Amino acid sequence: MADDFDEDEVMAQAAYEAEHAAAMEDEYNRAMAEEQDRARERGPGCLFPGKCCMPGPHDMSECHTADMIEQFNREQRRGGQERA
């Protein structure tokens, strides 16, 4: 029903969602910065010895396995299909 459309309500909801997304991004960025600081303190290491795809000495925050890459690629393909 087109008559039920309330532009002010839609705009308020969009503003709330944008504010919430910005707060979540700020929280994520703070958490990542803290993890990077901890990784620098720990120095090089590996979370997945024998399975890690990162060559040579690296920070633990860079560790990833082939399975993790496959999962990421699947999610990217699925996301692309939803946007199409």
Tell me what the mean pLDDT of segment 4-27 comes to: 87
Mention every residue, 6+ apart, whose C-beta is less than 8 A from residue 65: 48, 51, 52, 53
Q: Has residue 47 got a pLDDT over 90?
A: no
Tell me what the mean pLDDT of segment 21-49 comes to: 84
Tally of domains in the chain: 2
pLDDT for the residue 79:
81
**Residues 51 and 27 reside in one and the same domain:** no
Query: For the chain, what is the largest distance between any 2 Cα atoms, rounded to a whole number of angstroms?
Result: 63
**Residues 51 and 82 reside in one and the same domain:** yes
- 8 A C-beta contact, residue 57 and residue 72: no
pLDDT for the residue 74:
93
**Residues 58 and 71 reside in one and the same domain:** yes
Selected residue with higher pLDDT from 37 and 54: 54
Encoded tokens for 35: 């993890």
Q: Which domain holds residue 49?
A: 44-84
